[in-house]
Homo-oligomer: A and B are copies of this chain.
Amino acid sequence: MGFGTVGSGVAKILLEDADSIAIRTGIRLELAAVVDKDTESPRKIVLPKGLLTGDLNRILKDDTIQVVVESVGGTTAAKEIQIQMLQAGKHIVTANKALLAEHGDQLYAAAIASDRSIGFEASCCGGIPIILALRTGLAANRINALYGILNGTCNYILSKMTQSGADFRTVLSEAQTKGYAEADPSLDINGTDTAHKLAILAAIAFGGQIRMQDIYIEGIEQIASSDIQYAREMGYVIKLLAIGERTADGSVSLRVHPSLIHENTPLASVSGPFNAVSVTGHAVGKTMYYGRGAGMMATASAVVADLIEIGLGSCQRVFRAMPMTTGQQEQIRIKKIQDIECRFYIRLMARDEPGVVARYGRILANHKISIRGAIQHEGRGPDKTVPVVITTHPTLELNMFNALDELARLKVIGTRPACIRIVDIPEDSE
């Protein structure tokens, strides 16, 4: 279902590699039909005659078709189609993260009711087998933390801004020209797409239901190229991170926001359209998974892996035994963003006159915010202001929020300072 980019990639593998897949895995995959509203436009691959149709019934009424790859996209028609197909006794494989993050519970229930399963490896991080790692490879572990670069568009934009020094808008339109960002890039750059993927990964990692409203979301639209440069001077790289952390009190913090991470952290070197996820388990320690987060063939690789797992019967067995389908989900308590302790990077544009340091210093101190590092270059800013860059020790989000309000009201500053969280990804000590 759906003959766009992902559908074309899947068809290509099924048409070209069915024999070698059968030798490797014992499973013979056969492409029975491709359904798409548009049966006319030329695509990147040519299907054998008669395979492409606009008629959904071609699949629904053919009992020999056992699995449907839903690559229609969106959350309305796609949802109906998935439920219809499940009820008709077909397994589903999908890359549709928005649908699963928002209506996963309904779809999983429909699948269980029909004794069928949904494979969704391709919904997160393209070709990286991250769901497989979480649900099977690390199944012996209580997962304590998960840090991910989950959106290739944002990572491409931030990488390019870092390399070229160009500003957000310039790099975004360049990314659109090159096909790394969509015509309407809002779901990518505002962090929603990353949050969809975090919802899916965190549900498996922490064994409980995650709603979108459980995730705090900030996008990358406000990142200035100057912040990227100052961060670099201090040894940090700015990434849009998805974070899932089990905190000391047992609650779980789920958030998506731009983050300064130390340049020596493995995630810092993940650049361009690549994705990576760092997962810490109580037994295994820290592990990391890296690869292409999107694209026709990388996503198709994950879809076909699910098709093979359905052929082997493994997908079904795992799906039926997961807390999200057995109802044995943990009741996850969500740690609110304002209750988190975090380090911060702030950049304030201060007037270049006596007493300024004392004034912002006092405000920070009043809010119990302790300065860890600072840069003030001589005479750089516009309008007789100088940029003052400060990094802090861990401080309560709420305190920082209040301090920023107060700083914005200071006459010698005048605008709300830029503020980006610093994420110290814990080292797995030797």
Asked if A283 and B140 sit within 8 Å, CB to CB, the answer is no
In the assembled complex, A331 has its CB within 8 A of some CB on chain B:
no
Task: Tell me which of B17, B138, B273 contacts A140 (CB under 8 A).
Answer: B17
Interface flag for A210 (CB, 8 Å): no
Partner of A132, one of B137, B141, B288, B321: B137
A403 an interface residue at 8 Å Cβ cutoff?
no
Indicate if the CB atoms of B314 and A318 lie closer than 8 Å: yes
Contact of A323 among B24, B128, B320 (CB under 8 A): B24
Provide the residues of chain B in CB contact with A298, threshold 8 Å: 283-285
Quick check: is A142 within 8 A (CB to CB) of the other chain?
Answer: yes
The smallest beta-carbon distance between A139 and chain B, in angstroms, is 5
Min distance, Cβ A276 to any Cβ of chain B, angstroms? 8
Known contacts A284-B297, A318-B314, A328-B23: A13-B289 contact under CB 8 Å: no
* A284 B288 Cβ-Cβ under 8 A: no
Pairwise interchain contact B17-A305, C-beta atoms closer than 8 A: no
B139–A24 touching, CB < 8 Å = yes
A336 within 8 A of B: no
| CB contact list, A312-359 vs B, under 8 A | 312-314, 317-318, 320-323, 326, 328, 330
Task: Give the shortest distance, in Å, between A88 (CB) and chain B (any CB).
Answer: 25
Contacts of A136 in B (CB 8 A): 129, 132, 136, 305, 308-309, 314
- Residues of chain B within 8 A (CB-CB) of A281 are 127, 301
Listed stretches A58-66, A185-193, A264-272; interface member: A264-272
* With A127-B284, A290-B266, A321-B27: A21-B140 Cβ-Cβ less than 8 Å: yes
Kindly report which residue of chain B lies nearest to residue A290, judged by CB atoms. Answer: B288
Complex formed: what's the CA distance from A133 to B301 in Å?
12
Q: 27 A-B contacts, Cβ less than 8 Å apart?
A: A21-B140, A23-B207, A24-B139, A24-B322, A24-B323, A25-B322, A27-B321, A127-B283, A129-B133, A132-B132, A132-B136, A136-B314, A138-B301, A140-B303, A140-B305, A141-B301, A266-B266, A284-B292, A285-B292, A287-B289, A288-B288, A288-B289, A289-B289, A289-B290, A312-B314, A312-B317, A313-B317
